[in-house]
Structure 1
Amino acid sequence: MKHHAISVQDLNLYYGDKHALKDIKIDIEEKSVTALIGPSGCGKSTFLRTLNRMNDLISGVKISGVINVHDQNIYDNEVEVEMLRKQIGMVFQAPNPFPKSIYDNVAYGPRIHGMRNKNELDQIVEKSLRGAALWDEVKDRLKDRATGLSGGQQQRLCIARALAVEPEILLMDEPTSALDPISTAKIEELVQELKQNYTIVIVTHNMQQAARISDKTAFFLNGDLIEYNDTDTLFSNPEDQKTEDYITGRFG
């Protein structure tokens, strides 16, 4: 029996007057891949960002409801957001390496959290780059600037950077939308490997991708969670007509 890594109850989010997420209830299983699908502006990226409180950075956002990670509501006042974001990593749509060396990109998080021992940093950097399936391609050029890598390599570097602080949960916001098909395939393969050790929640516009890599899929529309089920079931036998219309391309 899989345990729930994240349990969301009665989540509502407003941008000013706009009701962007409406009474969301969802349990996300640990060490699995959950895909969030739906047309642009339907709330899926907003929902993803509530899971590590990235929306806190936006003015005028009001959030109510409960998001439990390990039975603690991450919106409780005593939660330290820095520690929360260490536990719940984020990979964005466009690769965003820091203008530093490959090594320094991966070592950045551990250093912020007080790691100074060079041997330990070396081990973390290697382990994280191996975890992101990038080590063999960059091991001889760790001092080179990360911005010299290809787009697909930069995105895997950003995954390595997220892994370096040993999160339990990895959030991915359309991580392959800026990449070519070969790089996309590598990241998809990587996601399958990472779920052995991490809980992954991924926003994707690509329904074939959701079908290929996720265990469960949640379909969002206009701020509502319309349907949430095992991916195979949701795509082959959706319960809601709106889900069927979306996955068969009638809208969106």
Structure 2
Amino acid sequence: MGIVALKTKTKKINEQPLVERQTVYSTKNCNLWYGNHHALKNINLDMKEREVTAIIGPSGCGKSTYIKTLNRMVDLVPNVKTAGVIEYRGRNIFSKDFHVEELRTRVGMVFQKPNPFPKSIFENIAFGLRIHGIKNKQLIHETVEKSLRQAAIWDEVKDRLHESAYGLSGGQQQRLCIARSLALEPDVLLMDEPTSALDPVSTLKVEELIQELKEKYSIIIVTHNMQQASRISDKTAFFLNGEVVEYDDTYTIFNHPKDHRTEDYITGRFG
């Protein structure tokens, strides 16, 4: 697909009235190593609140590593070393006084493959609330319904809340996982290829949901799907070999890229 063809499909969905948006994440000269493998190299990115930022690039380029670094999930991987600064709302996430539990409460994560708990639909949402000390039954019930409504799945599950979450379709399970993240009222949603395992109809529902959620949340999404990135995001970062090659408004990236490697990737010459 040539760049001209992409022009016809890339809507300027991001042309909104000028609003002063605060920076939610600021990455400054971030480097990360898995043992001797230099996975992220001098990453510099500023991402604004209430926008959808897409991270694109070929397999192994550092996309998922970067998004997992934003809520310190890479801490769980042996032999990881980081350098540089990642600030969330002006606070260095690697600082000793920024507890990882607080960060992960403010920054939710949705994975590539839906991962509901082996519990009922209701308990998938309520469990996290109880872990965070919420005991009021009425509040829990209200929050479960609110979260499922926000994730556009309430009407599909309201009559089966006490059935196993494993009885849902793949697309429904993914929206349930999004609802589970929303229950804790995060500030940011990280999404690591959330539709790659879904059918086209379920993918469309998740994409529509993302557009609704960005009115309240900042969303950072890793995707291999060029058309998806062009449809749903406000900003796009192109990663290659652990580096950010180009970062700009999505319309610019897909129609007027400044770097020939960006154009080569989005037009299918490699990747």
Q: Same fold (TM over 0.5)?
A: yes
2:100 alignment partner in structure 1: 81
User: Residues 152-209 of structure 1: CA distance to partner in whole angstroms, max 9, x if unpaired?
Assistant: 0000000000001110000000000000000000000000000000000000000000
- The number of residues matched between the two structures is 252
1:206 alignment partner in structure 2: 225
Q: 2:148, 2:102 → 1: CA distance?
A: 22
Query: Pick from 168, 186, 200: which aligns with 1:167?
Result: 186
1:113 alignment partner in structure 2: 132
Task: Report the 3-state secondary structure (helix = DSSP H, G, I; strand = E; otherwise coil) of the residue aligned with 2:115.
Answer: coil
Task: Report the 3-state secondary structure (helix = DSSP H, G, I; strand = E; otherwise coil) of the residue aligned with 2:206.
Answer: helix
Task: Report the 3-state secondary structure (helix = DSSP H, G, I; strand = E; otherwise coil) of the residue aligned with 1:41.
Answer: coil
TM-score, normalised on structure 2? 0.92
Deviation at 1:110, TM superposition (A): 1.0
Q: 1:124, 1:80 → 2: CA distance?
A: 25
Unaligned runs of at least 5 residues, structure 2:
1-19
Which residue type is aligned with residue 196 of structure 2?
Answer: S
Q: 1:194, 1:108 → 2: CA distance?
A: 22
Alignment of 1:136-215 (within 5 A): 136-215=155-234
Query: Pick from 214, 231, 235: which aligns with 1:216?
Result: 235
TM-score, normalised on structure 1? 0.99
Alignment of 1:54-65 (within 5 A): 54-65=73-84
Task: Report the 3-state secondary structure (helix = DSSP H, G, I; strand = E; otherwise coil) of the residue aligned with 2:134.
Answer: coil
Which residue type is aligned with residue 199 of structure 1?
Answer: S
Q: Does 1:47 align with 2:58?
A: no
Deviation at 1:137, TM superposition (A): 0.5
Q: 1:225, 1:247 → 2: CA distance?
A: 15
2:91 alignment partner in structure 1: 72
Q: 1:80, 1:139 → 2: CA distance?
A: 36
Percent identical among aligned pairs is: 65
Task: Report the 3-state secondary structure (helix = DSSP H, G, I; strand = E; otherwise coil) of the residue aligned with 1:228.
Answer: strand
Task: Report the 3-state secondary structure (helix = DSSP H, G, I; strand = E; otherwise coil) of the residue aligned with 1:176.
Answer: coil
Q: 1:19, 1:53 → 2: CA distance?
A: 17
User: Residues 31-70 of structure 1: CA distance to partner in whole angstroms, max 9, x if unpaired?
Assistant: 0000000000000000000100000000000011111111
Q: Does 1:249 align with 2:259?
A: no
Q: 1:220, 1:155 → 2: CA distance?
A: 26
Q: 1:134, 1:153 → 2: CA distance?
A: 7
- Higher mean alpha-carbon deviation, 69-78 vs 148-157, is at 69-78
Which residue type is aligned with residue 106 of structure 1?
Answer: I
Deviation at 1:109, TM superposition (A): 1.4
Which residue type is aligned with residue 195 of structure 2?
Answer: T
Q: Does 1:27 align with 2:78?
A: no
